[in-house]
Amino acid sequence: MTLARRLAQAGPWGVIVLCLALQTTPAPAVPIVDDPNGFEGIPWGATLSDRDRFVLIEEADHIQTYEPKEQPPRLGATPVESIRFTTFQNRFGRVTVRYSSAVTHDSILAYLQSTYGPLDRTPGQIAVGPVRVYAWHGFHTDVTLRFESSLDRGIIFFEGRTLRERWPEESPSTVF
């Protein structure tokens, strides 16, 4: 069956799904050689409530979200809009970073490559298009960056792999 015939059978929803899929261009995941097993020296699974460098900003069921007291937040040396540290059942498992501007994106991408490993620059392997997705995978840590060039905004997830399966899908930090 041809693609045109399948799209005709799927109706308008099939066309919409195809258009959305074509807008996102993921790059292949880069293996993390020296996995930090945490974020900025805080190991995955640690308790954040007893650390004085964070302030609790949201609590819902088993999920607690913290922000660093130090402002403005930075990822490496780059200022960002927000950094949120999330625990599930009081165990540290995710960091969400939000930022805007192409200049900030380029700086963050350079920082992530120097920290987690260089992206594969083989032609056809790097993400292009209005939505770019980059990923680094380690034994304990996953890093996923999504940048929407048309909106000039990005979001990064740093996640501990052992707790990731337990995150509720409706977690507020998984969306822009």
Where along the chain do its domains lie? 27-174
**13 half-sphere exposure, CB direction, 13 A CA radius:** 2
129: left (phi over 0), alpha (psi -120 to 50) or beta: left
How long is the chain? Answer: 176
| Cα angle value 153/66/133 (rounded, 5°) | 30
- CA distances in angstroms from 117 to 31, 77, 128, listed in the order given: 7, 18, 19
Instruction: Note down pLDDT in tens along the chain; length 176 residues.
Output: 444 444 455 555 544 444 444 444 455 678 898 899 999 999 999 998 878 889 999 999 889 999 999 889 999 999 999 999 999 988 999 999 999 999 999 999 999 999 999 987 665 555 667 888 889 999 999 999 999 989 999 999 999 987 666 555 545 554 44
d(CA 26, CA 96): 19
d(CA 164, CA 140): 10
Say if residue 12 is exposed, middle or buried (CB neighbours under 10 Å; 0-12, 13-18, 19+). exposed
Q: Max Cα separation, the chain?
A: 61
